[in-house]
Amino acid sequence: MPESQINQPQVKVAHVIRVFSYGGAEVLLREFFTTKEFKKEVISDVFVLDHIKLGLKDDVTPNIRNFYFYYITTWRFFFEYFKFLRQLAKGNYDVVHMHLPVAGWMGIVAKLFCGKTNFVYSEHNLVNYYTKYNYYISGWVYGLFDCVIYVSHEVGEVINKVRKGWFYKTKKGVTILNGIDTEKFQCTHRSELKPSETLTIGLVARFRPQKRVDRWAEVAAAIHKINPGIKFLMVGDGPSDDLLRETITKLNMNGVIELPGMLSDTFAAYKKIDIFLLTSDFEGLPLALLEAMSCGCVPVVSNVGGIKQLDFGGVGHKFDAFDPAAIANVIDGYTKDPGAYFDQSERARAFVIKNYSLTKQVNEIIALYRELIG
């Protein structure tokens, strides 16, 4: 820990997010709260705007001070929203840290009542892919944030491209890359695999539209056609869940693709996955991908967003054009060349250890808080 942070008072931070289920931003927050650096330096309260998705609540409550949630998506909206703003205002926080767009533009209103509080926003996605209302509302409120954190270099580059005058203007923008707890996310059983007999292709994600889980199922069907011995596991749920199940039925893949729903223990899922398949339309810096690679999963991923800037150095496969048959052949190739699989599995973990440390990210976040409050 930097010497400048030693013996300073803890920073009081309110973390605001729309849902608290199993998306990348939510899971990353959970990991923050478990680190000894964050618990020592930061007093954390969590504010969740939607009472429906609270899957990680029990995971984080031992490591934070307070957990609040609101019935924003009901007829009680105005009452609940006022209660949320009032609680933020009376909390006397040093920093309000908002994650993802809805939390950003709903939380920034509290700035009217918290003149001495610093408002920080973390941008996890490429804003040009947001729905219109999120894109425009976010663009107009960006200038109100005291600082915007970009979780990948490309996230920041896109902001610079779409900025016009006040629109997406930032007082202060910093890039702090997402990090992984590589001690937690590691698997030791890979050497016991027999790739020539079977591999498991998997995904761990919140099934949002940009994840294109329908395309994931198309690739699975193409793989199953040429190699019925390969297994499939999709861990998650979300808005595209119905689309996924409809696509699976259409492709006659019912019973072939395992759908356990969302699991609180994502590490247990990565232990079952050998190749991490991601077919997204866009990504910032996908936390699940880095967690999977830390566990030795070989990545086969769409070359979009922040993934473009991940230099795997010959590990796995990035595809620019979506061609299910071609992707299937790449994946099936690992069953014919087990040596290539084991080599790339080891190098996938080494890549994450070298470049994406959770400790590094946490210390950079704490240093930013300290800088903002002077």
The CB density around residue 36, as the number of other CB atoms within 10 Å, is 10
Whole-Å CA distances, 79 to 8, 15, 54, 72, 84? 38, 20, 20, 9, 9
Higher pLDDT, 154 or 279: 279
Q: Would the pLDDT of 2 be above 60?
A: no
Q: Would the pLDDT of 1 be above 70?
A: no
For residues 34 and 3, the answer to whether their CB atoms sit within 8 Å is no
CA dihedral over 109, 113, 115, 119, signed as positive or negative: negative
For residues 82 and 113, the answer to whether their CB atoms sit within 8 Å is no
Exposure string for 226-249, b = 16+ CB within 10 A, e = fewer: ebeebbbbbbbbbebbebbeebbe
Exposure string for 174-194, b = 16+ CB within 10 A, e = fewer: eebbbbbbbeebbbeebeebe
Q: Report how far residue 303's alpha carbon sits from residue 286's, in angstroms, rounded to the nearest whole number.
A: 12
Residues 181-208 pLDDT 10s: 888 888 888 878 888 888 999 999 989 8
Domain ranges of the chain: 3-179+357-373, 190-355
Class of domain 3-179+357-373: alpha beta
Q: Which pLDDT does position 365 carry in this prediction?
A: 95
Lowest mean pLDDT among 229-233, 276-280, 307-311: 307-311
Residues 209-259 pLDDT 10s: 999 999 999 999 999 999 999 999 999 998 999 999 999 999 999 999 999
203 strand-pairing partners:
234
| Residues near 283 by beta carbon (within 8 Å), at least 6 away in sequence | 125, 126, 210, 289, 302, 304, 305, 306, 307
| Residues near 75 by beta carbon (within 8 Å), at least 6 away in sequence | none
Q: Which pLDDT does position 228 carry in this prediction?
A: 95
Q: Which pLDDT does position 131 carry in this prediction?
A: 87
What is the model's pTM?
0.72
Q: Which pLDDT does position 337 carry in this prediction?
A: 94
Tell me whether the CATH fold assigned to 3-179+357-373 matches the one assigned to 190-355.
yes
Residue 167 corresponds to which tokens in the numbers above?
């629109």
CATH 1.10.10.10 fits 190-355, yes or no: no
